[in-house]
Amino acid sequence: MVLCSPLNFAYKPFKLTRPMKSRHYLLLVLTLLFSAIIYYAFSDYSEKIYQGTGLDSIGHFIGFFMLTWLLNGLLKVPLFNTTICLTFYAALSEIGQYYLGFRNGEFRDVVADVVGILLFIFFKWCYLVIGNKSYR
Amino acid at 54: G
The dihedrals phi and psi of 9, each to the nearest 5 degrees, come to -145, 160
Q: Would residue 54 be called left, alpha or beta, if left means φ above 0 and alpha means ψ between -120 and 50 degrees?
A: left
pTM, 2 dp: 0.60
8-24 confidence digits (pLDDT tens): 445 455 454 455 566 76
What do you get for the CA distance between the two ends of the chain, in Å?
46
How do the domains of the chain map onto residue ranges?
Answer: 61-136
Contact between 103 and 45 under an 8 Å Cβ cutoff? The reply is: no
DSSP 9: S
Mean pLDDT of 59-80: 91
Residue 79 has pLDDT above 70, yes or no: yes
Burial 25-52 (b: 16+ CB within 10 A, else e): eebeeeeeeeeeeeeeeeeeeeeeeeee
Closest of 134, 136, 85 to residue 113, by C-alpha = 85
